[in-house]
Amino acid sequence: MVQTPQVDVVIPSYKVDRSIREVIAQIPDFVTHVIVVDDACPHSSGEVAQALNDKRVHVVFHETNQGVGGATISGYRKALELGTDIVIKIDGDGQMDCAYMPALIRPILEGKADYAKGNRFIDFNALAAMPKIRLMGNSALSFLVKAASGYWNIMDPTNGYTAISREALVRLPLDKIDRRYFFESSMLIYLNIENIAVKDVSIPARYGDEKSSLSISHTLASFPKKLFKGMLKRIWLKYFIFDFNMASLYMLTGFPLLLFGVVFGSYRWIVGTIENELNPVGTVMLAVLPIILGTQFLLQAIQIDMSNIPKKE
């Protein structure tokens, strides 16, 4: 990292015309460029930002709505064109306190990570300000994202207050990252595939009267499927294409054993129920042993994955 890094801010902008002025006004002076991406906003948020007397502001306009991920990626590309060293991403609704920007980029400046993200779960007192339904949802989602992304050491995966180094940004396949609300989780999956170190930074929750456009029912229906596909892709690339280790062997052995035990055991249980007969001990053990061994092998694979979290060299 250079001695005086160029720090830029990206703000995806959609229906935030009422708050975008205040958000930009609070951005610290050490930020070189403020890139506002108008994601086909019906309230002309981009024009509101463009009218401000702030020479740092650059506005990118989308003709069609691409979602928060698509807007952020457009902002990342613009920041790379402007020669950025670190890019901070914040939302335009005022939920993210710009006073925490120095703390957010500190792990990158100190060489401890190339991607830093806010974590509302570290400060216990701040959790009181978080709506209970969001707290419960984030806790459950955090565990699923841990398994899918391989970053078992992080929490609050949907937190969009992030910072990323130029070195990490140019390594990411930006065209493959999800464009909608799965963006943050998709980022983590691809960051792990590229072996990029991630660091949580304690940033208290701050909620106002704003209404989230995120549909809970849509999230519950789409996120698990996307997380499962992302996990399979990460495991395939990291443990069977880029490398082959004991975790690979445990998975190759554990999954077939577990599947055989469950299928065979279920079949024998159904047959025994229909015919009103008890299965012999040998038949029972033929189902139970593969389940036990398969489970143990998969737990060992998970343990190796947990110890294989990307770190800065």
- State the Cα–Cα distance between residues 88 and 28, nearest whole angstrom: 12
Closest CA to 309 of 196, 176, 143: 196
The whole-number mean pLDDT for each consecutive block of 10 residues of the chain, a chain of 313 residues, reads 83 94 95 97 94 94 95 97 97 92 96 94 70 74 91 88 97 94 93 96 72 56 88 96 96 97 95 90 95 97 96 82
Q: What is the pLDDT of residue 136?
A: 77
φ and ψ at residue 64, rounded to 5 degrees: -125, 150
Return the number of other C-beta atoms located less than 10 Å from residue 18's C-beta.
14
- State the Cα–Cα distance between residues 291 and 110, nearest whole angstrom: 46
Query: Sign of dihedral through CA atoms 105, 107, 110, 114?
Result: negative
185 contacts 158 by C-beta, under 8 angstroms: yes
186 contacts 128 by C-beta, under 8 angstroms: no
Q: Which residues lie below 8 Å from residue 85, measured CB to CB, with a gap of 6+?
A: 1, 2, 5, 6, 7, 165, 166
115 contacts 164 by C-beta, under 8 angstroms: yes
Q: What is the pLDDT of residue 201?
A: 95
φ and ψ at residue 217, rounded to 5 degrees: -65, -40
Closest CA to 99 of 29, 17, 11, 189: 29
- List, in sequence order, every residue forming a beta bridge with 59; answer none if it has no partner: 36
* Distinct helix (H) and strand (E) counts, the chain: 11, 7
